[in-house]
């Protein structure tokens, strides 16, 4: 699915209604009891529509459990957002501290004093689930892991992750005197949805055996579904003895992206099997709808003030296909949004706005629209006669 382009501030909406039946809400139900319960070899699970944030099904979604290395999704998100905001650069150098070099568990064996670009450590974190890379990045961004954890919890609060309490940038079991990281399937889905905003993160999440240290080390992905599940886009595994096997997965089919979370599975195989099953069940709720079959197809006509003709046909720049829950098909709309100050002359092919697929007011996807023919300035008699 293409990322939504920003719509102009001043728009005239011409809604081409596919049906006029009453609309239904696509907002996540506030009452968890209204969300279908699922059972399986997990302690907690959730399935979300990534576009709308709607939870489709779940089991003990708010149960607070150790997320293990899924904590690193927040570490990755903060670093990616820092890059997007221009606070740090992908190629700026990170110097490895003694603390980072001593991290156990999954790692890339960083040595104190070594220097790496931010983006290389992000790859190590996202693909290898490297604990040492997580600490090195946290220290680089915030000066210390403690300060970075404060950033993590602040961002979690902004995202509505009420079940979450971070105490590390990596998710390892707590040492003596330390507190455990805690979260829920519900909150990990919210976090996974944010990661999906970054194409590079999704690329790393399904990469395997990627060279590191100039090819001296290969980053290996622990996700059991990489290369096996159709449409998989990531996102992050997690495991330690107290957490069990965990997996937050994003998958795209039928023009829709779903996010699945399982926590506390007894085996690596179980987390892959359960994730596959839950995603299949989720996608079974959807159907693919073609709103615009091909580029160049007409999507309506719009007024041009003082133009000859006074209305011009507009065509889509690309096809528009969306995935829609079968139960909500009656609520689907195709809305044509164009600038409210269209004036002649307008050449053929002039971009004038967007055709937007909407479900109860929520934008699912869009394509640019443009004029199908030129529009001249109307003369005196054209204006007088209303032509």
**Who contacts 209 (Cβ-Cβ below 8 Å, separation ≥6)?**
218, 219, 220, 221
**Single pTM value for the model:** 0.85
The residue ranges of DSSP E strands in 99-161, in sequence order, are: 115-117
Q: For the chain, what percent of residues have pLDDT higher than 90?
A: 79
Helix (H) or strand (E) holding 265: strand 256-265
- Tell me which fold the domain 11-25+289-385 belongs to: Peptidoglycan synthesis regulatory factor (PBP3), Domain 2 (2.60.410)
CA 197-200-203 angle, 5° bins: 110
pLDDT digits (tens, 9 = 90+) for 245-276: 999 999 999 989 999 999 999 999 999 999 99
In this prediction, residue 203 has a pLDDT band, given cuts at 50, 70 and 90, of: very high
Distance CA 366, CA 51 (A): 13
In this prediction, residues 66-85 reach a mean pLDDT of: 98
Q: Which of left, alpha, beta for 318 (phi over 0: left; psi -120 to 50: alpha)?
A: beta
- Confidence (pLDDT) at 11: 36
Residue among 127, 132, 302 nearest 223 (CA) = 127
Using the predicted structure, report yes or no on whether residue 294 has a pLDDT greater than 70: yes
**Which residue reads 């889509």 in tokens?**
316
Using the predicted structure, report yes or no on whether residue 6 has a pLDDT greater than 70: no
In this prediction, residues 56-78 reach a mean pLDDT of: 98
Using the predicted structure, report yes or no on whether residue 231 has a pLDDT greater than 80: yes
Top mean-pLDDT range of 32-36, 182-186, 252-256, 320-324? 182-186
Query: Does the domain spanning 32-284 belong to CATH 3.40.50.300?
Result: no
Distance CA 101, CA 33 (A): 46
Using the predicted structure, report yes or no on whether residue 163 has a pLDDT greater than 70: yes
Using the predicted structure, report yes or no on whether residue 15 has a pLDDT greater than 80: no
How many CB atoms are located within 10 Å of the residue 213 CB?
15
Instruction: Provide φ and ψ at 90, rounded to 5°.
Output: -60, -30
For all residues of the chain together, what is the average pLDDT? 89
| Domain ranges for the chain | 11-25+289-385, 32-284
- Confidence (pLDDT) at 343: 85
pLDDT digits (tens, 9 = 90+) for 82-141: 999 999 999 999 999 999 999 999 999 999 999 999 999 999 999 999 999 999 999 999
**Who contacts 264 (Cβ-Cβ below 8 Å, separation ≥6)?**
42, 43, 44, 65, 243, 244, 245, 246
């Amino acid at each position: 699915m293409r990322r939504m382009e920003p719509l102009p501030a001043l728009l005239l909406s011409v809604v081409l209604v596919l049906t006029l039946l009453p609309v239904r809400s696509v907002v996540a139900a506030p009452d968890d009891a209204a969300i279908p319960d699922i059972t399986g070899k997990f302690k907690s699970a959730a399935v979300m529509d990534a576009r709308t944030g709607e939870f489709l099904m779940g089991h003990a979604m708010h149960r607070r459990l150790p997320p293990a290395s899924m904590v690193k999704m927040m570490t990755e998100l903060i670093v990616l957002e820092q890059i997007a905001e221009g606070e740090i650069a992908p190629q700026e150098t990170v110097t490895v501290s003694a603390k980072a070099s001593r991290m156990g568990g999954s790692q890339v064996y960083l040595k104190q004093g070594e220097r790496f670009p931010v983006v290389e450590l992000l790859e190590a974190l996202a693909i290898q689930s490297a604990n040492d890379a997580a600490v090195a990045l946290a220290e680089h961004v915030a000066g210390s892991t403690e300060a970075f954890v404060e950033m993590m919890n602040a961002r979690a609060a902004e995202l509505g992750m009420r079940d979450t309490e971070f105490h590390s940038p990596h998710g390892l079991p707590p040492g003596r005197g330390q507190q455990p990281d805690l979260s829920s399937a519900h909150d990990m889905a919210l976090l996974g949805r944010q990661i999906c905003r970054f194409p590079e993160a999704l690329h790393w999440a399904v990469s395997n055996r990627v060279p590191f240290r100039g090819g001296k080390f290969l980053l290996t992905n622990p996700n059991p579904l990489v290369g096996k599940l159709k449409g998989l886009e990531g996102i992050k595994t997690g495991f330690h003895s107290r957490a069990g096997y965990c997996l937050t997965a994003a998958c795209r089919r039928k023009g829709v992206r779903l996010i699945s979370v399982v926590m506390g599975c007894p085996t690596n195989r179980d987390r892959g099997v359960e994730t596959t099953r839950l995603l299949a069940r989720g996608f079974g709720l959807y159907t693919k709808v073609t709103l615009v079959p091909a580029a160049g197809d007409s999507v309506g006509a719009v007024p041009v003030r003082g133009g000859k003709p006074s209305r011009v046909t507009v065509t889509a720049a690309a096809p528009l296909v969306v995935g829609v829950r079968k139960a909500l098909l009656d609520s689907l709309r195709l809305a044509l949004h164009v600038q409210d100050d269209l004036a002649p002359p307008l050449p053929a092919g002039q971009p004038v706005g967007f055709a937007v697929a909407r479900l109860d007011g929520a934008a699912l996807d869009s394509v640019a629209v443009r004029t199908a023919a030129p529009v001249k300035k109307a003369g005196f008699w054209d204006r007088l006669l209303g032509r």
